[in-house]
């Protein structure tokens, strides 16, 4: 007996099987072929059933296993299989859930894309066309295209590296040079290479969604000026996405602590440490203020993203998305230098049974400014005027060198006025503006010289006095 029966050797099916394995949810994964079974490793909680089943066989399986729920993650074009699963569940009164693949670009028209509803329509379109054709539709559709003139000379196929599939291709008259047996999905670069190698003028594909590498196929075809013939999906009832499927399965398994990395990303582009970059790449979800998320936008592609700096909002986002098993929360500069990471850590640490929290330090603004000035910072007193109100006069009376983080609309102007009011008119100010960004500027002067200037952007300043509290001259 198992709690979940999961149909599908698709990417979505493998993702959910892996989730069930890690969370120790007793699951039976049903795949049609031995190749599909090879892609789903069995574990203590996940077993694999290999072989196609009709509706009666599915009902018998439900009688034996008595699952809590059946999850249908079969291919979007396997409409007959989906209908058999649905009917078997209805007859045995077992809850049924369909996991639908997100559609990409359905119905888009352009000079390089032709949309058809069926393989027969694709055949009709190609019947009078000249030039090589690369089929990336899967092996089951290939018999529909045997009638294309010159099928055995100008057709190339990309199929799974399965012995039975390759035998089927050869039985249709295709030779070894025409068969590309590889497991996808493929990058746009790989698709371009295959289209060039086959000298194809047409690419035939199904609308397989992002999980099936569909956008990369269209990108490659458009780049080479090749016509993409797209067979649209069969109409199906609404299903749920992967994230919702995980939320459905989560209560059935063992509770696992999730890892949350609080990551200091330094300043602007190029400031990420290797450790910080690795944490972001490995994360399922990334959160942070908009500037932080945008700074790491390339590393966030395809991940769940929460634009917020508020701990309670980020905590709520994590609770609402149990599929995020490893998260990275981004902070500017260093996590230990006037950072919101401390409050976030305190918030997460209230739930030690749910979260394992780690801090990943970054390059602080003080370290960065001192590096620009080629000076050390071991004798500098750090303080922040960004959302804080320290006793600046007392700090300056007690320290010869003071570093300040600034905030506000025109922070340097306000600081100059404060220094002049306190009598520090001869103190030397070195202002770092937008440090590490392309527009970076470093400005040096006394309060009276800088007070009238409009200095905007992310600002930090180093204040320096002479020995014994006297101000530097010159």
Report helix, strand or coil for 24.
Answer: coil
Angle 16-17-23 from CA coordinates, rounded to 5°: 90
Q: What pairing do the DSSP bridges indicate for beta strands 155-159 and 132-136?
A: parallel
Q: Which helix (H) or strand (E) holds 159?
A: strand 155-159
Q: What percent of the chain has pLDDT over 70?
A: 96
Contacts of 309 (CB under 8 A, 6+ apart): 288, 289, 292, 340
Report helix, strand or coil for 249.
Answer: helix
Give 386-396 pLDDT, tens digit per residue. 888 899 999 99
pLDDT of residue 270: 83
Give 396-412 pLDDT, tens digit per residue. 999 999 999 998 778 99
pLDDT of residue 469: 47
Query: Sheet harboring 4-7: ordered strands across?
Result: 46-50, 27-31, 4-7, 69-72, 96-98
pLDDT bracket for residue 235 (50, 70, 90) = confident
pLDDT of residue 473: 40
Give 81-139 pLDDT, tens digit per residue. 999 999 999 999 999 999 987 765 544 444 579 999 888 999 999 999 999 999 998 88
pLDDT of residue 302: 82
- Cα distance between residue 332 and residue 288, in whole Å: 9
Give 146-204 pLDDT, tens digit per residue. 989 989 889 999 998 988 899 999 999 999 899 999 988 899 999 999 999 999 999 99
pLDDT bracket for residue 464 (50, 70, 90) = very high
What are the strands, taking DSSP E only, across 164-226?
179-181, 200-206
Give 287-325 pLDDT, tens digit per residue. 999 999 998 998 998 899 999 999 999 999 999 888 898
pTM reported for the whole predicted model: 0.62
């Amino acid at each position: 007996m198992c709690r979940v029966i999961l149909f599908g050797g698709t990417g979505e099916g493998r993702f959910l099987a892996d989730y069930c394995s890690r969370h120790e949810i007793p699951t039976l994964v049903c795949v049609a072929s031995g190749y599909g079974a090879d892609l789903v490793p069995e574990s203590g909680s996940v077993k694999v059933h290999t072989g196609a089943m009709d509706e009666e066989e599915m009902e018998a399986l439900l009688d034996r296993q008595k699952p809590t729920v059946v999850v249908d993650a079969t291919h979007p074009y396997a409409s007959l299989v989906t209908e058999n699963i649905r009917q078997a569940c209805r007859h045995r009164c077992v809850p049924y859930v369909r996991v639908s693949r997100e559609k990409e670009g359905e119905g888009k028209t352009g000079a390089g894309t032709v949309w058809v509803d069926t393989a027969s329509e694709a055949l009709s379109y190609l019947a009078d066309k000249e030039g090589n054709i690369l089929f990336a539709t899967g092996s089951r559709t290939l018999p529909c295209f045997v009638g294309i003139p010159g099928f055995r000379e100008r057709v190339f196929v990309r199929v799974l590296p399965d012995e039975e599939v390759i035998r089927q291709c050869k039985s249709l008259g295709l030779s070894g040079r025409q068969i590309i047996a590889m497991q996808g999905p493929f990058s746009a670069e790989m698709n371009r290479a295959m289209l060039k190698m086959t000298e194809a003028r047409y690419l035939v594909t199904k609308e397989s969604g992002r999980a099936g590498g569909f956008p990369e196929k269209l990108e490659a075809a458009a780049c080479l000026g090749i016509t993409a013939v797209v067979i649209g999906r069969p109409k199906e009832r609404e299903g749920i996405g992967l994230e919702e499927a995980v939320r459905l399965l989560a209560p059935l398994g063992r509770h696992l602590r999730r890892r949350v990395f609080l990551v200091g990303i330094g300043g602007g582009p190029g400031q990420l440490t290797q450790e910080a970059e690795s944490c972001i790449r490995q994360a399922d979800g990334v959160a942070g203020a908009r500037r932080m998320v945008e700074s790491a936008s390339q590393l966030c592609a395809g991940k769940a993203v929460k634009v917020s700096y508020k701990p309670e909002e980020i905590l709520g986002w994590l609770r609402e998305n149990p599929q995020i098993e490893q998260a990275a929360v981004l902070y500017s500069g260093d996590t230990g230098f006037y950072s919101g990471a401390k409050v976030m850590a305190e918030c997460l640490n209230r739930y030690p049974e749910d979260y394992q929290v780690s801090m990943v330090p970054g390059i602080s603004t003080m370290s960065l400014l001192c590096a620009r000035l080629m000076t050390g910072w071991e004798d500098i007193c750090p303080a922040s005027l960004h959302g804080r109100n320290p006793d600046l006069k007392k700090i300056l009376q007690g320290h010869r060198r003071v570093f300040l983080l600034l905030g506000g609309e025109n922070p340097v102007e306000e600081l100059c006025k404060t220094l002049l009011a306190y009598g520090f008119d001869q103190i030397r100010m070195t202002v770092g503006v937008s440090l590490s960004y392309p527009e970076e500027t470093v400005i040096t002067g006394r309060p009276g010289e800088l007070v009238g200037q409009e200095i905007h952007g992310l600002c930090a300043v180093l204040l320096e006095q002479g020995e014994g509290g006297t101000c530097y001259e010159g």
